[in-house]
Amino acid sequence: MTPDVSENLLDKRHNELIQEAKKSGYNLNPDTVFTRGLVEGLLINANRYGYESCPCRLSLGDKESDLDIICPCDYRDDDLSEYGACFCGLYVSDTIASENLPAPVVPERRPLASERMKKSSSSVPAGGLPFPVYRCKVCGYLCARNNPPEKCPICKAEKERFEIFLR
Amino acid sequence: MAITPVHVEGIDKGSIMLYALSTCIHCKQTRKLLDELKVAYDYLYVDQLSRSEMDEVLKEMEKVNPRGSFPTLVINNNKVIVGSRLDEIREALLS
Ligand code: SF4
């Protein structure tokens, strides 16, 4: 495939992802060959686009429209709950991880491009809250403060992955 | 289609078209299976196209898989298998 990712870099990123996942209560797929294939895809995308977008989805190379598919994508946790793996199979449930099962085929849940355009605000007016509540679109973490954190303390997603949930 | 897919020589099982991404492990597994089955097929790495080619190919592809997800395999212009459903692909090509 693309030979621009060195084994060293691949090892390094793979280990980082394993550690990060463990720290936040997630599991990386224990199938090393499979997972390294995905990590390679993430690194290729990081080189190409400047961000690690999902290796199994088509990026348009424009960060704003790819934001929801920057790994970990907005769909990971729903897929983990429903199928036991994310769309790519990089993250898997405890059962799949501990029993070393193959990742299932997960149908695409990302809304169609036309639906993604209709930016529906999911914020509910609560009225009179002393602080707005921000929601991490990756893992659902909520925090009440004037601005979202630089990085989600739970899943490490960047600030721009937060939306206002209550104000 | 103006864009020419890559042709892989092999046993003629009719037209087999694979829409894939070069970075996707599921697409890779699907290609590996097609290679193992030694069938002739065409594939396109949609992520390696220019933006205008991409739009053109996506339009074609979304006719058979509206979600536009990968891998999308089209067998004889009628059977569509989305995702690396290897058993299903094997069955469709060996029958
Ligand atoms: S969490 Fe899984 S499906 Fe989502 S971007 Fe990362 S690898 Fe792809």
Q: So what's the pLDDT on residue A116?
A: 85
Residue A29: how many CB atoms within 10 A of its CB? 25
Query: Ligand 1, residues A14, A28, A54: which to mutate, most atoms within 8 A of Cβ?
Result: A54
Dist. CA A20–CA A154, nearest whole Å = 10
* A28 Cβ below 6 A of ligand 1: no
- Residue A114's SS3 state is helix
Per-residue confidence band for A81, with pLDDT thresholds at 50, 70 and 90: confident
For residue A6, report the distance from its CA to the centre of ligand 1, in Å.
22
- Count of A-B CB contacts under 8 Å: 62
**DSSP code, position A151:** B
Locate B43 and state its tokens. Answer: 């594939």
For residue A40, the chain B residue with the least C-alpha distance is: B23
Residues of A in contact with B68 (CB under 8 A): 58, 112-113
All residues at 6 or more sequence positions from A140 whose CB lies less than 8 Å from its CB, including other chains: A77
3-state secondary structure chain B: CCCCCEEECCECCCCEEEEECCCCHHHHHHHHHHHHHCECEEEEEHHHCCHHHHHHHHHHHHHHCCCCCCCEEEECCCEEEECCCHHHHHHHHHC
Dist. CA A145–CA A126, nearest whole Å = 15
- Residue A39's SS3 state is helix
| Cα atoms in the Cβ-side hemisphere of radius 13 Å centred on A109 | 17
Dist. CA A72–CA A90, nearest whole Å = 9
Per-residue confidence band for A120, with pLDDT thresholds at 50, 70 and 90: low
Who wins on pLDDT, A121 or B80? B80
Question: Cβ–Cβ of A56/B23 closer than 8 Å?
Answer: yes
Dist. CA A48–CA A85, nearest whole Å = 26
Q: So what's the pLDDT on residue A30?
A: 95
Q: So what's the pLDDT on residue A62?
A: 93
Dist. CA A18–CA A23, nearest whole Å = 9
Question: Cβ–Cβ of B83/A113 closer than 8 Å?
Answer: no
How large is the average pLDDT for residues A123-134?
79
Q: So what's the pLDDT on residue A69?
A: 97
Dump pLDDT digits (tens) for A62-79.
999 999 999 999 999 989
Per-residue confidence band for A2, with pLDDT thresholds at 50, 70 and 90: very low
Of the partner residues B22, B58, B68, the one whose CB lies closest to the CB of residue A1:
B22
Between the CA of residue A147 and those of A99, A125, A138, A141, A158, what are the distances in Å? 41, 17, 17, 14, 12
Question: Cβ–Cβ of B23/A45 closer than 8 Å?
Answer: yes
How large is the average pLDDT for residues A148-163?
90
A60 touches chain B (CB under 8 A): yes
Who wins on pLDDT, A16 or B95? A16
Q: Which neighbouring-strand residues pair with B17?
A: B42, B74
Q: For each of chain B's 95 residues, which pLDDT tens digit applies? A: 578 999 999 999 999 999 999 999 999 999 999 999 999 999 999 999 999 999 999 999 999 999 999 999 999 999 999 999 999 999 999 97
3-state secondary structure A19-37: HHHHHCCCEECCCHHHHHH
Dist. CA A26–CA A134, nearest whole Å = 22
Average pLDDT, chain A: 90
